[in-house]
Amino acid sequence: MRAPMKPLDTNTDPRVVGPFELLARLGEGGMGVAYLARRIPLDGLSGELAAAYNLIEPDGDAVEEPRLVVVKLIQPKLLDGEPQYRERFGREIDAVRAVVSDRVPALIAFEEDPAADRPWFAMDYIAGPSLHTMVKESGTLGIGPYAALGLALVDALRAIHGANLLHRDLKPDNVVLGPDGPVVLDFGLAVLIERSSSQALTKTGTRMGTRSYMPLEQYKDAKHASRPADVYALGATLFFALTGRSPYPFGPSASEPKWDGVDVPFLPLLAKTLVSTPSQRPDLDAVEDSLLTLLADADLPPGLAAQQLKELVEAAALTPELPPEAFADQVDPEVRELARQAVDADLPDVDPGFYGVIYTDEIELAVDEVDPAPEPMAEEIDPAAPEPAVYVPTLVAPHPTPTSYPLPPPRAPEEEPQPETPQAPPRAAQKVATDLRRRYARRGNL
Give, in order, the Cα–Cα distances in Å from 138 to each of 98, 142, 314: 34, 12, 11
The answer for 376, left when phi > 0, alpha when psi is -120 to 50, beta otherwise, is beta
Q: How far, in Å, CA of 39 to CA of 4, rounded?
A: 21
Where b means 16+ CB within 10 Å and e means fewer, 71-88 reads bbbbbeebeeeeeebbbb
3-class state of residue 234 by DSSP: helix
- Element (DSSP H or E) covering residue 286: helix 284-297
Q: Which of 169, 186, 368, 371 is catalytic?
A: 169
DSSP E strands, 80-159 = 107-111, 120-124
Q: 390: which residues sit within 8 A by CB, 6+ positions away?
A: 216, 254, 276, 277
Cβ atoms of 235 and 274 closer than 8 Å? yes
* 285 catalytic residue (yes or no): no
Of residues 371, 438, 5, the one with CA closest to residue 187 = 371
Which residues partner with 16 through β-bridges?
A: 21
- CB-neighbour burial class of residue 136 (10 A; exposed 0-12, middle 13-18, buried 19+): middle
Q: How far, in Å, CA of 424 to CA of 223, rounded?
A: 42
CA torsion 26→28→33→37, rounded to 10°?
0
First to last CA, the chain: 54
Residues with a known catalytic role:
169
